[in-house]
């Protein structure tokens, strides 16, 4: 975990490096980028040479309340339902320090691999976990904790639904009151489609009442009858919440009729809803009951792109009850997406990589810029371009205001 930084005393140059499709020299001093110029061929006394530079990554969807619990109560079947049951058992025994330690460990993994903005969901059935993650959000603003500030956002997520039990609705509302950044719900976990759509409206109502954003688990099922995404688009449009709404997973769309999916992708684009796909979990949790062929269970990234919709890529689980694997390396879900989503075209792989440092920041605000005058906060990969970075998935060197973070 980071606790120190290497200080490049005066200035440094990164020579002949890939940046946004060009070969450039990047000159840095006083913690800022002084210039980005076409790469020179002359010998250089550069601190670094070659490789590639890009902004820090962002993680739009993970569950830090449950992280690092995968071995504490193993998911013997590897299914979504045993994962939910195991989490329901484990969450009653966690205390604040346990949540903090596990979450901090995973955030350290993220940062070491280039991710400094993280949006976590927290199960609203555990007030303890919610309080611990909100406290950690504040703690991580202090750069001395991990070597640079980490921007954490907390989403109030009712894992087992809202209308399924009066206590669940009460817990959900109470956790939002604690000071979350966004409100979530899980329509396909409700008892009917009408109830699911009702919770979408409740979710937007609660978010609006508190001036918060919306981020829901949307249609994370193989059942093509679930279409809460359409209700989400309608509410986002009606309330003018363009750019403030994230619909996570959206896996039912995988099994929708093509004409319905085409209409939905267009609605997602025109209402400014962002879809976040979680390829690691959904490639193994969806299609699980299928014989052959087994559905991939990912949302339609290529068709969302074609419609002009914004897509993010989440890791979702890092060693938790749903997915025992997980590294907090955002290149891993990206790598899974290019495979399972048939996105191995050159432009597609490049776009998947760029999503990690561009669209993935959207839930938090603007993506960070790499330009003259900006703080020298960036990643440097030894890989020669984004496709090589995806192929190797090796961690970058992480820079923050001209200083390199060190473990």
Active site residue ranges: 220
Nearer to Fe ion among residue 123 and residue 316 (C-beta): 316
Query: Which of the stretches 2-10, 14-22, 68-76, 308-316 binds Fe ion when contact is defined by CB under 5 A?
Result: 308-316
**Shortest reach from residue 286's CB to Fe ion, in Å:** 12
Taking the least distance from each CB to Fe ion, the nearer of 153 and 316 is: 316
Residues written for the chain:
407
Residue 316 is given by DSSP the state B
Question: Which range touches Fe ion (CB under 5 A), out of 91-99, 107-115, 172-180, 309-317?
Answer: 309-317
Taking contact as CB under 5 A, which single stretch among the options 8-16, 72-80, 313-321, 379-387 is the one that binds Fe ion? Answer: 313-321
Three-class secondary structure assignment of 331-400: HHHHHHHHHHCCCCCHHHHHHHHHHHHCHHHCCCCCCCCCCCCCECCEEEECCCCHHHHHHHCCCCEEEE
Nearer to Fe ion, 197 or 316 (CB): 316
Q: Which is nearer to Fe ion, 196 or 386 (CB)?
A: 196
| Least distance (Å) between residue 314 CB and Fe ion | 7
CA distance 316 to 319: 10
CB of 141 to Fe ion, least distance (A): 24
Stretch that binds Fe ion, among 34-42, 139-147, 314-322, 387-395 (CB under 5 A): 314-322
Residue 235 or 316: the one with the smaller Cβ distance to Fe ion is 316
* Residue pair 381/59 in contact by the 8 Å Cβ criterion: no
Handedness of CA 56, 112, 334, 225 (dihedral sign): negative
According to DSSP, the β-strands at 22-29 and 11-19 are antiparallel
> Shortest gap between Cβ of 155 and Fe ion (angstroms)?
9
Question: Looking up tokens 């998935």, which residue turns up?
Answer: 393
Q: Give the DSSP letter of residue 52.
A: E
**DSSP bridge pairs for 123:** 157
Interacting stretch for Fe ion, rule CB under 5 A, among 21-29, 132-140, 316-324, 374-382? 316-324
Residue 191 to residues 81, 159, 229, Cα–Cα distance (Å): 16, 14, 17
- The runs of H, that is alpha helices, within 150-249 are 166-177, 193-210, 228-238
Comparing CB distances to Fe ion, the nearer of 54 and 186 is 186
Least distance from Fe ion to the Cβ atom of residue 166, Å: 24
CA distance 18 to 378: 13
25 versus 320: smaller Cβ distance to Fe ion: 320
Q: Which of residues 202-261 bind Fe ion (CB under 5 A)?
A: none
Choose among 198, 124, 193: nearest CA to 158.
124
Token pair in block for residue 394: 């090796």
Nearest residue to Fe ion, scored by beta-carbon proximity: 316
Please state the closest distance from residue 230 (CB atom) to Fe ion, in A: 20
The pair of three-digit structure tokens given for residue 8, joined into one six-digit string: 């490049």
Instruction: Return the residue matching tokens 């995988």.
Output: 254
CB of 243 to Fe ion, least distance (A): 21
Number of residues that bind Fe ion (CB under 5 A): 1
CB of 252 to Fe ion, least distance (A): 15
Q: In whole angstroms, give the CA distance from residue 194 to residue 189.
A: 12
Asked whether 111 and 2 are in contact (CB, 8 A), the reply is: yes
| Residue closer to Fe ion (CB basis): 133 or 389 | 133
Q: Dihedral of the CA atoms 273, 276, 277, 278 (nearest 10)?
A: -150
Contacts of 68 (CB under 8 A, 6+ apart): 102, 105, 106, 318, 319, 320
* Binding range to Fe ion, per CB under 5 A, among 26-34, 186-194, 311-319, 393-401: 311-319
Contact positions toward Fe ion, by CB under 5 A? Answer: 316
């Amino acid at each position: 975990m980071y606790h120190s930084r290497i200080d490049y005393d005066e200035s440094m140059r990164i020579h002949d490096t890939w940046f946004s499709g060009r070969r450039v020299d990047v000159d840095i001093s006083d913690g800022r980028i002084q210039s980005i110029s076409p790469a020179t061929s002359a010998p250089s006394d550069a601190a670094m040479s070659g490789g590639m530079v890009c902004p820090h990554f962002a993680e739009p969807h993970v569950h830090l309340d449950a992280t690092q619990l995968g071995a504490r109560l193993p998911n013997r079947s590897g299914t979504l339902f045993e994962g939910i049951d195991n989490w329901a058992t484990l969450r009653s025994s966690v205390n604040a320090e346990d949540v903090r330690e596990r979450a901090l460990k995973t955030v350290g993994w993220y940062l070491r691999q280039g991710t400094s903005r993280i949006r976590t969901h927290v199960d609203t059935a555990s007030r303890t976990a919610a309080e611990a993650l909100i406290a950690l959000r504040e703690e991580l603003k202090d750069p001395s904790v991990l070597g640079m500030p980490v921007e954490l956002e907390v989403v109030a997520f009712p894992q087992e639904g809202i209308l399924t039990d009066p206590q669940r609705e009460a817990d959900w509302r109470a956790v939002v009151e604690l000071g979350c950044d966004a409100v979530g719900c899980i329509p396909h976990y409700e008892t009917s489609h009408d109830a699911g759509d009702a919770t979408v409206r409740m979710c937007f109502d609660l978010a609006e009442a508190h001036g918060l954003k919306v981020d829901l688990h949307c249609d994370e099922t193989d059942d093509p009858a679930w279409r809460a995404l359409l209700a989400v688009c309608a509410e986002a449009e009606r309330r003018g919440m363009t750019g403030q709404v994230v619909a996570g997973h959206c896996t039912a769309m995988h099994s929708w009729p093509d004409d319905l999916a085409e209409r939905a992708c267009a609605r997602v684009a025109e209402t400014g809803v962002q879809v976040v796909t979680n390829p690691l979990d959904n490639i193994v949790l969806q299609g699980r009951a299928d014989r052959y062929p087994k559905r991939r269970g990912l949302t339609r990234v290529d068709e969302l792109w074609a419609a002009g919709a914004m897509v993010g890529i989440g890791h979702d689980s890092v060693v938790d009850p749903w997915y025992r694997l997980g590294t907090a390396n955002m290149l891993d879900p990206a790598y899974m997406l290019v495979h399972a989503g048939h996105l191995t075209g050159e432009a597609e792989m490049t776009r998947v990589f760029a999503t990690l440092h561009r669209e993935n920041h959207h839930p938090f605000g603007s993506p960070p810029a790499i330009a003259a005058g900006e703080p020298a906060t960036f990643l440097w990969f030894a890989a020669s371009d984004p496709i090589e970075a995806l192929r190797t998935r090796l961690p970058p060197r992480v820079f923050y205001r001209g200083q390199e973070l060190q473990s």
